[in-house]
Amino acid sequence: MTKTFTVMCQEASGYGTIWIDYITVSPDSAGNYPLATIQDLATKKCSEEWGRDWETDHSILCMGVIEGSVNFLYFDDSHLE
Give CA separation, 81 vs 18, 25, 67, 70, 78, in Å.
Answer: 11, 32, 28, 25, 6
Span 54-63, pLDDT tens digits: 999 999 999 9
**Average pLDDT in the 67-72 region?**
90
pLDDT of residue 79: 76
- Mean pLDDT to the nearest integer, 8-21: 91
Domain of residue 11 covers 3-80
Total of domains in the chain: 1
Residue 81 has pLDDT above 70, yes or no: no
Map 23-72 to HEC letters. Answer: EEECCCCCCCCCHHHHHHHHHHHHHHHCCCCCCCCCCEEEEEEEEECCCC
How do beta strands 19-25 and 60-67 pair? unpaired
- Cβ contact 7:58 at 8 Å: no
